[in-house]
Structure formats: C-alpha cells, structure tokens
Chain A
Amino acid sequence: MENNYEQPLDLGFEAKESPQGELRFRITSEIRRYWKETARWGMFFSIIGLLYIGIALLTFFLSISLLGIHESTLSTFFILVALAIIVPLWWLMFRFSRYTQKAVLHDDPAAAHVGFTNLRRLFQLLGILLIILLVFYGIVILISLIAVLG
C-alpha cells in the first residue's frame, strides 16, 4: 500500500465548489452547534426585549392616565421613540432566533435563509441607528463649538 505523504493534512476540510463553480461552505456539526447556541441567546434577548416593551407600554399608559395627554407630552415622546427603536430590533432578533433554531432542528435551508435575512436586517438597522447617533453627536458638537466661538 502506497502512503501519500504529499497530501495536505486538511484534505477534505476545505470549502468546496459547486458543479457550477460557485463557492460553497460545508455546514458542519460544529457550525450547527454555534448557530443553535447563538439562536438560543437571541431568543433570550427577545424575551428581555418583550419585557422591556411591556414595561415601556405600561409606563406610557400610566403617565397618560395619571397626568393626562398634555402634561405627559415629553415622557410620551421619549417612550414612543424608545418603542420605535426597540420594537423593530426585538422583532428581527425574535425572527432570527426562531427561524435559525427551526433550520438547525429540521435541517431546513429555507428557514436558515429567513433566519439569516433577519440577522442581516438586524445588523443593518443597528448600523443605521449608529449613523443617526453619530450625526446627532456631530450636530451637538457643532452647535457647542458655534456657541463657544461665537
């Protein structure tokens, strides 16, 4: 039997190309384990997010019922802004977790695609929120500079 010592040790471990020449990665059991755990933590975050939304809504209705709509304008505004940020993040995180868990459990590539689409949207939304925050910081710094120099 001829031993071929020229073979690389990672033979068979590299990403493969499809018959059409496209790059394809193997979804190993390790990767499935990572996806499963990531999705579990994602579900935990969405549960915490749901609790936060519940508390924010409770505060919103309490402030309206105790102070009236005109007196609680500022707090209502801040609660609505917080909800407008939290609710889409929560929804995307929930869908990512649910579909990724489903994909790993039922070996379903369609569910995996939906899960990863939601992960992509989640990171996109976080990035856009970060840009808005940076623009806001920039405006505040600019106004402060004008106030100090002017």
Chain B
Amino acid sequence: MFEVNMENTLKTHGSLAYSNEAMHQEWNTTAYWANFIAIVNYVLLSFSVLALFRVLSDRQLFYLPPSIVVVLVFLLLLGVAFILTTFLYRFARKMRQAFMFGEQEDFEVAWLNLRNYFRWTGIIMIVVLAAYLCLVLILAYKLVNSFGDMGPF
C-alpha cells in the first residue's frame, strides 16, 4: 500500500513535472497578497469580537442586549470566517517557507491549504444559498396562505 502511494506520489507527468521560474514569481506574489488579506481579516475579526463584547457589556449604550440566538449566530459566523482566514494564512506562510528553505513538503502543504480554503468557502456558499432558497420558499408559502385566508373576492 505504501509503495503504491509512494509510486503515485512520485509519478511525474511529462512536461509539467517541475515548476519553473515564471510560476515561482506568480506564486510568490499570490502568497504575498494572500498573507496581506489574511492579516487584515484577522484584524477585522478581532475588531468584530471586541464590538460584540462592547454590545453585550454596555447596557447603557444599548438599551436591550441582543438575544442569545443572534449572539450565537454572530459567533458562528466569526468562527467560520476565522477558519477560512487560517487556511488562507497557512497557504501564504507555507508557500513563502517553501521558497525560503526549498522544502517540497511546505510546497505541498501550501496547495493543500489553498484547496481547503476554496473547498470550505464553496461548502459555506452552498449552505448560505440553500438557506436563502428555504427562506424564499417559506415566504412564498406564507404569502400564498395569507391570500387563501382572505377568502373569495
């Protein structure tokens, strides 16, 4: 089994067997911008957490505290955003380490993290779209029922 996996991993495919200098320049710049985006996202997320605590603690500023459901949904969204940002940050960091130390393993882990970033963003997008669709269907159902309650004209 190990040998088969080793063979698969070592298998090279013609002309795309090795990276080249032109690709390295593109990946380097991509990693630079991904790092910037991830760090800004981390800062914005920490501001959001601070804002949440401010809302929860300051009863004078906000007359009524938000309901527990709203707080939990907000925390869930922050958690999801944090995980996605971490995938992006790891991609950037591993790619830069790969160039710095010439480590093949870092190079592979970098692409694994970019794949995870795209995959989980896609899954969350599907969940959000499904939630929208459900909401539209529920609203349409309620609208039809409310017309039914009005009786014949």
Residues of A within 8 A of B (CB): 10, 12-16, 18, 22-32, 34-35, 37-38, 41-42, 44-45, 48, 103-104, 107-109, 112-113, 116-117, 119-120, 123-124, 126-127, 130, 134
Bound CA span A23–B122, Å: 33
Please give the number of chain B residues whose Cβ is less than 8 angstroms from any Cβ of chain A in the complex: 44
5 more contacts with CB within 8 A, not counting A23-B24, A29-B11, A113-B22, are: A25-B19, A27-B18, A28-B11, A38-B118, A130-B40
Contacting pair B111 A34 (CB below 8 A): yes
Contacting pair B30 A123 (CB below 8 A): yes
Contacting pair B98 A25 (CB below 8 A): yes
Task: List B contacts of A32 (CB < 8 A).
Answer: 13, 16
Contact flags B8-43 to A (C-beta < 8 A → 1, else 0): 111111111111111110110110011011001000
Smallest CB-CB A-B distances: 8 pairs: A123-B33, A41-B118, A34-B115, A34-B111, A116-B26, A127-B33, A41-B122, A24-B18
Which A residue sits closest to B28, measured CB to CB?
A120
| CB contact between A37 and one of B15, B40, B119 (< 8 Å): that residue | B119
Q: Closest CB-CB distance, A101 to chain B, in whole Å?
A: 13
Task: List B contacts of A28 (CB < 8 A).
Answer: 9-12, 108
Flag whether B102 is at the interface (Cβ < 8 A): yes
With known contacts A23-B99, A123-B34, A29–B18 Cβ distance under 8 A: no
Which B residue sits closest to A51, measured CB to CB?
B129
Q: Closest CB-CB distance, A144 to chain B, in whole Å?
A: 15
| CB contact between A120 and one of B30, B105, B108 (< 8 Å): that residue | B30
Which B residue sits closest to A10, measured CB to CB?
B105
Query: Which one of B16, B122, B129 has the highest number of Cβ atoms from chain A below 10 Å of its Cβ?
Result: B16
Bound CA span A14–B103, Å: 6
Contacting pair B11 A124 (CB below 8 A): no
| CB contact between A38 and one of B11, B16, B99, B115 (< 8 Å): that residue | B115
Bound CA span A89–B98, Å: 27
Contacting pair B118 A42 (CB below 8 A): yes
Contacting pair A119 B119 (CB below 8 A): no
Bound CA span A26–B16, Å: 9
Contact flags B111-152 to A (C-beta < 8 A → 1, else 0): 110110011011001000100000000000000000000000
